[in-house]
A = this chain, B = another copy of it.
């Protein structure tokens, strides 16, 4: 039997979260954290609703997953996020020692790769999973705003 638990499978769940953000008028970024093919956190950007720059999807997902695990390290976890993490989120992921980060669309301006933010040496990064779908949602959001 084919393994259904691909990176695209979980990125679709992150994309669903991004769509919730979109509906609320938030920049549409969604995230899930997975351990042993089980989703233990699902979040979306809430910076406008909460008036809080720290309320990025990834930050909430880290807090939520750590709460589920009962410890602050996310060593056996994978984060799926629709947009490349920023400096803040990558800095939080550094502290979490997360095993794997999978992101959809790149953020050429404020993504951690361009900004040179350091991840934990054990963290694996995969990019471009459902890149078009994740990027198209962002474009639709900013087109609406203009």
Contacts and interface: CB of A to CB of B under 8 A. Distances in A.
A71 interface: yes
Contact of A71 (B51, B86, B94): B51
A89 interface: yes
Of A47, A73, A117, A118, the most chain B CB neighbours within 10 A belong to A117
Nearest to A87: B91
How many copies of this chain are found per oligomer?
2
Consensus secondary structure, chain A interface? helix
Nearest to A89: B91
Of A88, A92, A95, the most chain B CB neighbours within 10 A belong to A88
Interface in A126-142: none
Interface in A37-74: 47-48, 50-54, 59, 62-63, 66-67, 69-73
Interface in A71-87: 71-73, 86-87
A121 interface: no
Contacts of A66: 51-53
A73 B66 CA distance: 27
Interface of A: 47-48, 50-54, 59, 62-63, 66-67, 69-73, 86-92, 94-96, 115-118
13 contacts: A48-B72, A51-B69, A53-B72, A53-B73, A54-B62, A54-B63, A86-B91, A86-B95, A87-B87, A87-B88, A87-B90, A87-B94, A88-B90
